[in-house]
């Protein structure tokens, strides 16, 4: 018989139980991305980066052919992690770069969260590889994108069929916060939601401005 207990489920993310890998958020990759508007993509990427920084999530930043072809990583990421070294690869599959494996092993986390361009290549590769090696994999679908809706959707389906867990950027932020009484991160979470949370952010501005509302923290 199941017994309810006031504890989070083991599949939920928190700041201490996973590694975030942000992959190939670069100009050349974004030019051909059609499954998501580039403005929305950049907004969602900023939301994810700020959430990871706020909750002290071990974060790996990586690019492909930065100097010779694809260009620098989005400033929405680099401005949040100005001192984080970016690993530049030749491999399309991030997981096949030994430096990435070394960083993943150094964090000691069994949950891996992925976001990047393009979903069907640069996210499918590490997702399937990590799953095959026994990691739990989460994919932030709206901080990723591909050359068509079809490419993005089929890639997401392929990863889900293999055991990956899809989520969104705002979901990532709110799952890390999870309790409005968590005062040490409350202000940063609200600020990030206001800046990048779309209609939800507008709602926060309205509620706080019009009648000083808060979420019970």
Cis-peptide, bond into residue 118, ω within 30° of zero: yes
Whole-model pTM: value is 0.95
Closest CA to 103 of 119, 126, 87, 114: 87
Which two three-digit tokens encode residue 113?
Answer: 């969260």
Q: Say which residues have a Cβ less than 8 Å from residue 215's Cβ, sequence separation at least 6.
A: 180, 186
pLDDT at 89 over 60: yes
CATH of domain 18-175: 3.40.50.850
The gap from C-alpha 138 to its chain's centroid, in whole angstroms, comes to 9
pLDDT at 37 over 60: yes
The alpha carbons of the chain give a radius of gyration, in whole angstroms, of 17
pLDDT digits (tens, 9 = 90+) for 128-161: 999 999 999 999 999 999 999 999 999 999 999 9
Question: What is residue 216's predicted lDDT score, i.e. its pLDDT?
Answer: 59
Class of residue 129 by CB neighbours under 10 A (exposed 0-12, middle 13-18, buried 19+): middle
Question: What is residue 136's predicted lDDT score, i.e. its pLDDT?
Answer: 98
What is the rounded average pLDDT of the residues 106-113?
A: 98
pLDDT at 217 over 70: no
pLDDT digits (tens, 9 = 90+) for 40-63: 999 999 999 999 999 999 999 999
Name the percent of the chain lying above pLDDT 90.
Answer: 89
pLDDT digits (tens, 9 = 90+) for 157-201: 999 999 999 999 999 999 999 999 999 999 999 999 999 999 998
Residue ranges of the chain that CATH labels 3.40.50.850:
18-175
Known catalytic residue at 108: no
pLDDT digits (tens, 9 = 90+) for 59-76: 999 999 888 888 999 999
CA dist., res. 165 & res. 183, Å (int): 28
Phi, psi of 19 (to 5 degrees): -115, 135
Residue among 13, 122, 141, 193 flagged as catalytic:
122
Cβ contact 5:46 at 8 Å: no
The gap from C-alpha 74 to its chain's centroid, in whole angstroms, comes to 14
Least confident of 95-109, 175-189, 196-210: 196-210
Cβ contact 194:46 at 8 Å: no
What is the rounded average pLDDT of the residues 10-28?
A: 97
């Amino acid at each position: 018989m199941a017994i309810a207990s006031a504890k989070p489920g083991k599949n939920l993310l928190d700041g201490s139980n996973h590694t975030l890998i942000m992959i190939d958020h670069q100009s050349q990759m974004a030019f051909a991305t059609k499954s998501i508007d580039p403005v929305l993509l950049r907004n969602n990427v900023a939301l994810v980066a700020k959430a990871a920084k706020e909750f002290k999530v071990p974060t790996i930043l990586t690019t492909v052919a930065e100097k010779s072809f694809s260009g620098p990583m989005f400033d929405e990421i680099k401005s949040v992690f100005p001192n984080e070294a970016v690993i530049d690869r030749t491999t399309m599959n991030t997981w096949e770069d030994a430096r990435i494996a070394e960083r993943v092993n150094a964090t000691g986390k069994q949950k891996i969260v992925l976001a990047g361009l393009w979903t069907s290549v640069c996210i499918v590769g590490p997702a399937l590889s990590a799953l095959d090696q026994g990691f739990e994999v989460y994919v932030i679908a709206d901080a990723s994108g591909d050359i068509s809706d079809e490419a993005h959707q089929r890639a997401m389906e392929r990863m889900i069929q293999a055991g990956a867990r899809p989520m969104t950027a705002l979901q990532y932020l709110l799952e890390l916060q999870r309790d409005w009484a968590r005062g040490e991160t409350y202000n940063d979470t609200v600020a990030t939601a206001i800046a990048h949370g779309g209609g939800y952010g507008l709602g926060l501005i309205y509620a706080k401005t019009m009648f000083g509302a808060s979420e019970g923290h």
